Chain A
Amino acid sequence: MTALDLLALPDVGEEFSFSDEHELTRASARRFLAERCPTSEVRRLMDDPVGHDASTWRSMAELGWLGTTVPQPLGGAALDPLHLALLFEEQGRALLPSPFLACQLALSALELAATPEQAARWIPPILSGEQIATLAFEEPSGASRGAADTRAVPARGGWVLVGVRPHVLGAASAGLVIVPATEPDGGVGLFAVELPHPCVLVEAERSVDTTRRAARLVLEGASVPAAARLERSSRAVVERVEARGRTLLAAEMAGGIAAVLERTRAYACEREQFGRPIGAFQAVKHPIVDTMVSAELARSLALGAAVAWSREPARHDTLSRMAKAYASDAFAVAVRRGVQLHGGYGFTWDCDIQLWFKRAVASRALLGDALHHRRWLAAALGGA
């Protein structure tokens, strides 16, 4: 295979497969979030014990957001993933505190690995908003991969799960967690664990980013029935779920970069020093342009990954890694510049830039950081 074949880009269609319906999705999400989630609401929820607004969450369920890509027989809308990526971009822009990403990860795992009976049991309550679900995925730290740290042992007609999973999104409010665990034969099983469970400790983490809650899950020999194992589990399923998660997270981060850009731009037009708006100075103007450039590139990668998800599955994994890697770095740079260019005000609690700054810190390594994914990409080219 020549280098050129390896490098080939996914065919995202002549016009990015973008239709009027996509535009409708984007525009209605923008309106909904402008109304329901101004930054005052974000700040209110930062101090909320649960961390998201129950009525907003119910509305999201009623609008069909939660089941956007879920097949119709399972109660979803079966729309293409570009719709879902656009929703994530908008909620990342608004910094919506919610277990949206957690639920999409769990839904992906259920959609890809559950039997019809299992799906019928667990998916509908998630789509209706009654049940919050999440996935206890392994953070790729480079040293460990797959489900190595969590084990599943057959016992008494079911399974016993042992292991520790930090940074499980939304776990403290979840009624269902999908746990990938290594089985005795070395394969990966996905286990649907209903919470609360007497042998599953859920320790809420105190995150710098209180707009997205996470918890540490301690599985102290937690027994689950045989039917809790999603029957079509495999490592390949876990990888596909991760690719989807990276795509959505990258779209969310692209939305975050756009929000930081807009705030920084507006401040540079309004704040005057030396008798003119600071945005007139090239030392301020050019970094803002660089943020715009990275916002656009991050958006192209994330939405491109969403298109590849359904249209070119063979390239989706690669593109989702590119999108996540690029967004991780670009978001970090955008918030760094954002704080700096707001000057003394940027350093205060009052300035909203800090909210995205913290989200960028918490999202940077979630589902793999840039170094991790570039390492994978380099290996795909035949490198280290």
Chain B
Amino acid sequence: MSQPDELEAFRARAREWLLANVPARPSFKLPQTFLEVEAREQLEWLRDWQRRLYDAGYLGFDVPEEYGGRGVDRERRRVVTEELVRARAPFLVNFIGLEWAGPTILTFGTEAQKRRMLPPLLRGDELWCQGFSEPAAGSDLASLQTRAVRQADGTYRVTGHKVWTTVAHFASWMILLARTDPAANKYAGISYFLFPMDATGVTVEPLLKMTGEGGFNQVLFDDAPSPADSLLGEEGQGWTIAMTTLTFERGAAETHARERAAALLAQLGRVVELAREREREGAPALADPVLADRIAQLWIECAAIGLSMARTRAPALNAERPFALPLMNKLVSSEWNQRLAELATELLGADAALWLDDPRAPHGGDWTRGYMNSFGMTIGGGTSEILRNVIGERVLGLPKGK
């Protein structure tokens, strides 16, 4: 843990470094988030940024040094994230690796897996994707049908079909859920693999989003080999491990709460600026009482979410329902973000319809694109509807639907 003085000195260094090193925007269009990386040039530009951030010593504060990290230091991690938001730095392209796969490997991996996987993950040299959803297993994830059959030599052969697989087209590795025991019940039959995407028998087919962007895919496995040491944890432990990954994915891990709050606030700040800059009836849109009321409501909710994240760190304040705040985090933030993004498009008036390729599109059409892309967050990682079931059943003890 850093001392306060040290931490402020670290913040000053980080701020200075970012000022000097945050790259100017490239000539080509950048994706808004890690979910929409479709072109090689986008990937390389973003990967280069992650490498430089890592090499400069600002990435890896939740990973011990022996696995390529900077040693676990929550305070420094928070400072870096706050400064990244402040500097409007590009996002980190290996988001799935850093936020979902990495922490899961750190929790369940063998020593060899941690040493092999984590350093290139942190530096962005190897990207990660997530193979959980299938065409017939979305919200009902445990009904997944992809099979992994153990061979005599201890390796596995994978056959099946995964969908909505973000960055599969650039990924070196996939965190993969596959059924190893078809006879066991649907939860107990699942295992968790660190699967090499360059295996034979793997076909990655791009899918097009409603924005016209790529970035996600379907992945077909036809008797694709996976080494013996690709199994994470034990056979049959996959569901438990997957729930841990989903906990990271849904932001339930409280360590990142404060930086998430800073990010929400930054988004709101941009919409407030937009409302000052756009005109309505000959006055700034912010002067419209109806729009102003909605912005005020979003501000209130943003404060409520931020304060809830702070409250998460006082366990005694949550003793009655300890999982309420962690589990509602993703639900509330993603729905808030969607309403904010929709409001931004309303602030644009008729210009909201101008798309990315129109030179007059306000801010390059990013607001409308952002609104559409906000559905990635209310659907991915557990839809809002599924999360309401999970909260209702696990937190409130309401009976299951069947």
Contact = CB atoms under 8 A, between A and B. Distances in A.
Interface of A: 2-4, 6-9, 12-16, 18, 20, 22-23, 265, 268-269, 276-277, 279-282, 285-286, 288-290, 292-293, 296-301, 303-304, 319, 322, 325-326, 371, 373-375, 377-379, 381-384
Interface string B292-321: 110111011111111110110110110001
B289 A268 contact: no
A383 B287 contact: yes
Given A265-B398, A296-B321, A325-B296, 8 more contacts: A3-B276, A4-B266, A7-B269, A282-B385, A289-B391, A292-B321, A301-B304, A383-B286
Interface in B16-49: none
Interface stretch (B60-68, B162-170, B323-331): B323-331
A276 B393 CA distance: 15
A293 B307 contact: no
A3 B313 contact: no
10 contacts: A3-B272, A7-B269, A7-B302, A12-B307, A18-B317, A282-B389, A289-B388, A292-B324, A292-B391, A325-B300
Nearest to B392: A285
B261 interface: yes
B397 interface: yes
A382 B286 contact: yes
A290 B387 CA distance: 11
Q: Which 3 A-B pairs have the closest CB atoms?
A: A378-B292, A383-B292, A374-B296
Nearest to B390: A289
B396 A288 contact: yes
Contacts of A9: 261, 265, 303, 306-307
Contact of A289 (B270, B302, B392): B392
Contacts of A282: 385, 388-389, 401
Chain B contact patch, size range: 35 or more
A325 B294 CA distance: 13
Given A2-B269, A289-B396, A381 B286 contact: yes
Given A4-B266, A4-B269, A378-B293, A16 B311 contact: yes
- Name which of A7, A280, A288, A379 has the most chain B CB atoms within 10 A of its CB: A7
Nearest to A4: B269
Contacts of B396: 265, 288-289, 292
Nearest to A277: B399
Given A269-B399, A297-B305, A377-B296, A16 B310 contact: yes
B398 A18 contact: no
Nearest to A301: B304
B288 interface: yes
B382 to A, nearest CB: 13
Nearest to B271: A3
A276 B399 CA distance: 9
A377 B300 contact: yes
Contacts of B291: 383
Contacts of B321: 292, 296
Contact of B297 (A2, A293, A298, A374): A374
A15 B287 contact: no
B268 interface: yes
B314 A16 contact: yes
Contacts of A325: 296-297, 300
B316 A280 contact: no
- Name which of B391, B393, B396, B400 has the most chain A CB atoms within 10 A of its CB: B396
A384 B304 contact: no
A293 B331 contact: yes
B332 interface: yes
A279 B293 contact: no
A297 B332 contact: yes
- Name which of B261, B289, B331 has the most chain A CB atoms within 10 A of its CB: B289
Contacts of A15: 310, 313-314
Contacts of A4: 265-266, 269
A373 B393 CA distance: 35
A268 B272 CA distance: 41
B392 A296 contact: no
A237 B263 CA distance: 35
Interface string B271-295: 0110110000000101111011101
Contact of B392 (A286, A303, A381): A286
A253 B305 CA distance: 18
A326 B401 contact: no
B220 interface: no
Contacts of B275: 383
Contact of A280 (B284, B385, B398): B398
B188 interface: no
Interface in B347-402: 385, 388-389, 391-393, 395-402
A322 B332 contact: no
B85 to A, nearest CB: 9
A13 B11 CA distance: 19
B141 to A, nearest CB: 18
Contacts of B400: 280
A213 B125 CA distance: 68
Contacts of A300: 304, 307-308, 310-311
A277 B398 CA distance: 9
A384 B290 CA distance: 9
Given A9-B265, A280-B399, A292-B324, A322 B389 contact: no
- Name which of A13, A20, A286 has the most chain B CB atoms within 10 A of its CB: A286
Contacts of B332: 293, 297
A319 B304 CA distance: 10
A8 B265 contact: yes
Contacts of B316: 18, 20, 22-23
Nearest to A295: B324
A7 B272 CA distance: 9
Contacts of B265: 4, 7-9
Contact of B303 (A14, A280, A286, A322): A322
Contacts of B286: 378, 381-384
B288 A3 contact: no
Contacts of B297: 325, 374
A292 B321 CA distance: 10
Contacts of B266: 4
A204 B335 CA distance: 45
A298 B299 CA distance: 14
